[in-house]
């Protein structure tokens, strides 16, 4: 039987929830302000559209690439870098944990796309949840969230009927890093803008304050690089429209497209998005104090071991 809400200590519950996330491997976790989420997200994309009695949105982040992963060739980075499934498994476990511990319904919020609106529209914005929960701030790299301590993380959300006190967003935005501001002053571009393979990033930095002024993101161009599932129908369409057998064969069986069929056949959907070049050159993503798992080990685990 669900416990009566009055019996639940909100502070203790939050401590238990956050503690669970960190114990299971999340680097950061927080609770988003539900009212703010509802004001930002348009109708149809608010938590209650998925779970009508939701009271809290919990966001958590896990570490992205290892330091070694940043050194591998770009074509292989997707294989080494993705820890998003770890984020999902923690949030999935958290939903069970809340139901078991507090007797209140919870769901792991699917990090997927809206089947009604197509693959460029998320079912829910994990970005908004994490930003409002104070575990990330929008960067010039197409609004990818960065954390001053943990750099670039993968996020997951849990919706629950458990009522929790919301956290505040981050007090400061780590983007742009001082070195990026220096570069901007020199060439009017930050590293992520300069090295994007499809030049989908643009923007302006306030050279006096060193803060973001304008972020421009061509998501359509980014999708051409990262969302390879969109290539699938295009490749098939190219094959259908091909005027001769050789072009048809190219459209379906060149190595790029054969990789698509391979990824689809083994169900490795995560590997359909493989471009990390803006993050590879981002000093926050790669050099934030605890973005580096090696440094993290020194900062966190070694002192723990000494205790």
Distance from C-alpha of 190 to C-alpha of 303, rounded to nearest angstrom: 36
201-205/106-109 β-pairing: unpaired
Segment near another protein (CB under 8 A); pick from 41-49, 92-100, 148-156, 286-294? 41-49
CB 217 within 8 A of CB 200: yes
CA atoms within 13 A on the CB side of 203: 31
CB of 183 to another protein, least distance (A): 13
First CA to last CA across the chain, in angstroms?
41
Segment near another protein (CB under 8 A); pick from 10-18, 19-27, 47-55, 219-227? 219-227
CB of 295 to another protein, least distance (A): 21
Distance from C-alpha of 230 to C-alpha of 259, rounded to nearest angstrom: 13
By the rule CB under 8 A, 170 interacts with another protein: yes
Closer of 96 and 262 to another protein (Cβ):
262
3-class secondary structure, 150? coil
Segment near another protein (CB under 8 A); pick from 3-11, 84-92, 157-165, 192-200? 192-200
Distance from C-alpha of 81 to C-alpha of 92, rounded to nearest angstrom: 21
147, burial (CB in 10 Å: exposed 0-12, middle 13-18, buried 19+): buried
Interface residue with another protein among 52, 178, 233, 303 (CB under 8 A) is 233
Return the residue matching tokens 């984020």: 87
Query: Between the CA of residue 38 and those of 160, 194, 251, 286, what are the distances in Å?
Result: 15, 35, 44, 32
Return the residue matching tokens 């803060």: 211
CB of 172 to another protein, least distance (A): 9
By the rule CB under 8 A, 187 interacts with another protein: no
By the rule CB under 8 A, 275 interacts with another protein: yes
Distance from C-alpha of 180 to C-alpha of 237, rounded to nearest angstrom: 42
By the rule CB under 8 A, 284 interacts with another protein: no
CB of 220 to another protein, least distance (A): 4
Closer of 48 and 220 to another protein (Cβ):
220
Tell me which residue of 62, 63, 33, 234 sits closest to 134, measured CA to CA.
33
By the rule CB under 8 A, 217 interacts with another protein: yes
Interaction pattern, residues 57-86, with another protein; x per rule: CB under 8 A: --------------xxxxxxx---------
By the rule CB under 8 A, 214 interacts with another protein: yes
Interaction pattern, residues 105-144, with another protein; x per rule: CB under 8 A: -----------xxx-xx------x--xx----xx---xx-
Contact positions toward another protein, by CB under 8 A?
Answer: 36, 39-40, 42-45, 71-77, 116-118, 120-121, 128, 131-132, 137-138, 142-143, 169-170, 173, 194-199, 211-220, 223-225, 228, 230-231, 233-235, 237-238, 256, 259, 274-275, 277, 280-281
């Amino acid at each position: 039987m669900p416990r009566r809400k009055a019996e639940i200590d909100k502070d203790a519950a939050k401590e238990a929830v956050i503690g669970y996330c960190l114990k299971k491997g999340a680097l950061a976790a927080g609770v988003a302000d539900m009212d703010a989420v509802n004001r930002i997200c348009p109708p149809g994309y608010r938590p209650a559209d998925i779970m009508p009695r939701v009271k809290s949105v919990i966001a958590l982040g896990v570490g992205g690439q290892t330091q070694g992963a940043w050194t591998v060739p770009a074509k292989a980075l997707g294989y080494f870098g993705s820890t998003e499934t770890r984020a999902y498994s923690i949030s999935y476990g958290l939903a069970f944990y809340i139901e078991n511990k507090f007797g209140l319904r919870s769901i792991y919020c699917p990090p997927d796309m809206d089947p009604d609106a197509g693959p460029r529209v998320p079912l829910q914005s994990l970005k908004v949840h994490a930003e409002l929960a104070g575990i990330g701030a929008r960067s010039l790299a197409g609004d990818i969230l960065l954390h001053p301590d943990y750099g670039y993380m993968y996020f997951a959300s849990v919706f629950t009927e458990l009522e929790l006190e919301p956290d505040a967003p981050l007090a400061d935005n780590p983007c742009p890093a001082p070195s990026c501001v220096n570069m901007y002053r020199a060439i009017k571009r930050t590293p992520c803008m300069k090295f994007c393979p499809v030049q989908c990033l643009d923007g302006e930095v306030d050279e006096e304050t060193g803060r973001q002024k304008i972020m421009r993101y061509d998501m359509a161009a980014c999708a051409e690089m990262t969302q390879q599932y969109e290539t699938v129908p295009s490749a098939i369409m190219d094959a259908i429209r091909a005027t001769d057998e050789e072009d048809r064969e190219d459209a379906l069986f060149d190595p790029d497209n054969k990789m698509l069929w391979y990824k689809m056949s083994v169900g490795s959907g995560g590997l359909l998005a493989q471009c990390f070049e803006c993050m590879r050159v981002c000093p926050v993503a790669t050099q934030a104090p605890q973005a580096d798992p090696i440094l993290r080990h020194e900062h966190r685990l070694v002192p723990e071991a000494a205790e």
